Structure 1
Amino acid sequence: MLSLEQTRLDKLLDEFKTSIKIQYSGRLNVKSSHNFQWTFYYHLGQIVWATGGNHPYRRLYRYVMQNCPHIEMNKLLLHVEDTSSDYWGYRLLEILYKKYQVTLQQIDTIIRGTISEVLFDLAQHLNRASLLYERHQEVILTAPNDFTSSNIIIQQIQESWNIWSKAGLATFSPHLAPIIRKPEQLQQMVSPTVYKNFANLMNGKYTLWDLAVKMNQSILSITRSLLPYIRQGIIELIAVPDFSLPTTELRNSSNFTPLKKLTSPLIACVDDSPQVGKLLQEILISNGFRFINIQEPLQALPILIQHKPDLIFLDLIMPGLNGYELCAQLRRSSALSNTPVVILTGSDGLFDQVRSKVFGATDFLTKPVEVYKVLERVRQYLPDALTANNVVIPQPSSV
């Protein structure tokens, strides 16, 4: 017979698997009967961001400090309205990427770590309370890169939690902070150097998660090493408060730039070639646009209707459904009948252009895709967006 915890874990995993299967976009709220809440933001079945549970601010501080040591979080003055939404952390990462030379790889690591920690936190509550799941599609976040694979992350966290439980740590929360309660007894058990390190770190200020980063060790090894001292009462685990982000009420300060709203134009690409989609993504994301990459033409129409992009790049030759047919379907949809559609084609032949116009295409872009060609089309059909994002179109490379 399955334990209650295992039953709840299976239910949790089913919810995540369903989101992947239906290519869900929106947020998944998970609430416990003890009034805890976690939120997972999805884009086409992939987890883009996660928040909630214990210490969300401390968590972000920790991952930024670990991966971007040049960022001084305490000196970032953020408008209070920009930290009031559930996805404030995601918005902050956008600013760090655009304004503070934080790379996509660093953002990747921060997001993966955040999602994994939130999942771990959620898994630990399974043996304490029942969970309620709710889906809401009014908030849509898109990832700046293809760096979250929900299946892989969920599998990894399931394995991590199993190891944590088997080590006898299921009741130990990594959000607690160790503090030395019997210093004289500890001094008799360890060397002076070890005791000095203990005194500096086990002072009730740093959680077990914090210590894992500071000591460059896994949370499992840190907690295991402290377990004998905890059981003897030499070290105690205590609850600590979350951090807070420094905010300002000033709107017109010359030293303050409010976080950008997530309202930049959404551009879609329908192309069965992963290389083309990846290239367009790099061009558009780096210039401040949101982006959807769709490689399955038969799935494109419902995805496009759901997200209502401002501009669509559409490949002409695709398996199952070619660009002509899909363009005609778009024009029959009231939501997309007037959306600019730029056909991607390997040929600049007049026949393709005329036929595409008949099926409702707005313009053409010949392959290979080049940066200046893409941005020229964006300037033509979304001129205000280029100005708002301060985009400079590069000159075509000379042959």
Structure 2
Amino acid sequence: MQGNLYEIDIRSILQLIELGQRTGQLFVEAHSFHKSPQLGRNHTGKNLSWFVFFLNGEIVYATDSDNSLLRLSDYLRHYQVKVQVTEEERACLEVLNAPEYAYLWTLLEQNIIDPIQARSIIYNLVQETLFDLLNLQQGSFVFAVGSALTPQLTTLEITPLLSKIVKQVQQWKQLYPYIQSPEQFPILTDIVNLRSSLPAVTVNKLQHWASGQTSLRQLARYLNRNIVTVAKAIYPYVQQGWVHLVDSDTTELLTNQQDKTLSLQENHKQRILCIDDTLSICTHIEKILQTQGYEAIAITNPLEALTRVFQFQPDLIFCDIAMPELTGYEICEMLRHSQAFRNIPVIMLTAKEGFFDRVRATMVGATDYLTKPFGHTELVILVERYLNYSRGEVIKQTQHLLI
């Protein structure tokens, strides 16, 4: 059995394997894509793959394409067990089809962990793998009938497992766009509001885990909780802008973001972000502002922009109204619900000028309105008007300009 995921989804494939009581191995491959609400990890454009092992229609074990022991090491940390592998042992494990599974059995044989702990780890590994697979929307698969993975410590029925994880996937999608990937790293950005709103114990826990060094997925493993439970716990703070999530490829952010966001440098260039799905508009604005000495970036993907706005920390935002996936109104409204961007000047861009557009822009918290096409001078004057005021004064003094 083989095919593409646009012809048949992972859930149906698993149900067919269960119905046929098949023994063998399922291999799934997908090309990673950027900033997805479903699977946001590994934005490098490489192929991702997963393996699921079956015995008589039940799951024995599941893993991803990473043959390291990092995933297992995270789960063992919950039991205060460290992975200690010699070079010789590592070389032997690497030639195996499932090195993680083999090492788990080694720990069992050495009485470092007991069977109950091992079963719990396998259950979590399978859940994590199926969570990623059920989020996939594209890719290919091959199911090969063959001998079972041995020895077996446990087998898991597919139907109850699917029922549980499908609910998790549905809950996970509701957290988007504030939380986009299990591989994002939480960083504290507003310790003052956190301390004034939360118990000291909770703040201390957040400071410990939200340091930019631990991903949401790692945190779930350390705490022995599923990823949705952890994400929902941190979601309100991300929504408020008190905690930001950054991607694994932003190395500098992971080490310096807290210091940069908690204390702005007085001599930094003023930063301007432009969000418009028309590339020519983005390029036009970017070039004009850069020649004026501003640090400016433009983004054509509105979903990507929501992540980049937290990383870039702009002093002013231009945002097109009519965009696919997310409108400018929706983006502005989301930003106004964030403590960090509540008072940032947001100037709406539109190809038409109308009273109702201005009223709606006012309702979602927009600061001003710029009609396309616009000239060099008009753009610069508008930017200087708002960046010469404090952020709090801008919102108060200029809302009347919209209507």
TM-score by length of 2: 0.50
1:49 matched to which residue of 2? 61
Distance 1:63 1:169 in 2: 28
Residue in structure 1 matching 2:123, options 101, 112, 123: 112
Distance 2:170 2:8 in 1: 13
Change (3 A) 1:101 1:123: same
Q: How does 1:59-70 map to 2 (within 5 A)?
A: 59-66=71-78, 68-69=79-80
1:353 matched to which residue of 2? none
CA contact (8 A) 1:9 1:123 kept: no
Distance 1:190 1:232 in 2: 13
Q: What fraction of aligned residue pairs are identical, expressed as a percent?
A: 20
Confirm or deny that 1:203 pairs with 2:214: no
2:133 matched to which residue of 1? 122
Superposition deviation, residue 30 in structure 1: 0.9
Distance 1:218 1:79 in 2: 29
Superposition deviation, residue 153 in structure 1: 1.8
Confirm or deny that 1:154 pairs with 2:154: no
Q: How does 1:299-314 map to 2 (within 5 A)?
A: none
CA contact (8 A) 1:53 1:118 kept: no
Letter of the structure 2 residue corresponding to residue 16 of structure 1:
L
Confirm or deny that 1:102 pairs with 2:88: no
Gaps in structure 2 of 5+ consecutive residues: 33-46, 250-403
1:23 matched to which residue of 2? 21
CA contact (8 A) 1:179 1:237 kept: yes
Confirm or deny that 1:224 pairs with 2:222: no
Deviations along 1:67-98, one digit per CA (max 9) or x if unpaired, are: x43x3214666332413444111111121111
Letter of the structure 1 residue corresponding to residue 140 of structure 2:
L
CA contact (8 A) 2:188 2:210 kept: yes
Deviations along 1:280-301, one digit per CA (max 9) or x if unpaired, are: xxxxxxxxxxxxxxxxxxxxxx
Superposition deviation, residue 109 in structure 1: 1.2
CA contact (8 A) 1:119 1:157 kept: yes
Q: Give the paired residue count.
A: 230
Q: How does 1:113-262 map to 2 (within 5 A)?
A: 113-126=124-137, 130-137=138-145, 140-166=148-174, 168=176, 172-215=180-223, 218-240=226-248
Distance 2:123 2:204 in 1: 33
Letter of the structure 1 residue corresponding to residue 164 of structure 2:
Q
CA contact (8 A) 1:40 1:50 kept: yes
Query: RMSD across aligned C-alpha pairs, in angstroms?
Result: 3.1
Letter of the structure 1 residue corresponding to residue 242 of structure 2:
I
Change (3 A) 1:212 1:60: same
Distance 1:153 1:112 in 2: 10
Paired residue secondary structure (2:104): helix
Change (3 A) 1:16 1:143: farther
Residue in structure 1 matching 2:82, options 53, 67, 72: 72
Letter of the structure 1 residue corresponding to residue 182 of structure 2:
P
Superposition deviation, residue 31 in structure 1: 1.2
Gaps in structure 1 of 5+ consecutive residues: 1-6, 242-399
Paired residue secondary structure (2:50): strand
Letter of the structure 1 residue corresponding to residue 237 of structure 2:
Y
Letter of the structure 2 residue corresponding to residue 124 of structure 1:
N
Superposition deviation, residue 131 in structure 1: 2.0
1:268 matched to which residue of 2? none
Superposition deviation, residue 29 in structure 1: 0.8
Superposition deviation, residue 33 in structure 1: 3.5
TM-score by length of 1: 0.50
Deviations along 1:104-134, one digit per CA (max 9) or x if unpaired, are: 22221111110111011122333xxx12111
Paired residue secondary structure (2:63): strand
Superposition deviation, residue 168 in structure 1: 4.9
Superposition deviation, residue 138 in structure 1: 6.0
CA contact (8 A) 2:58 2:155 kept: no
Confirm or deny that 1:82 pairs with 2:93: yes
Distance 1:184 1:206 in 2: 22
Paired residue secondary structure (1:31): strand
Distance 1:9 1:109 in 2: 34
1:372 matched to which residue of 2? none
Change (3 A) 1:194 1:55: farther
Paired residue secondary structure (1:206): coil
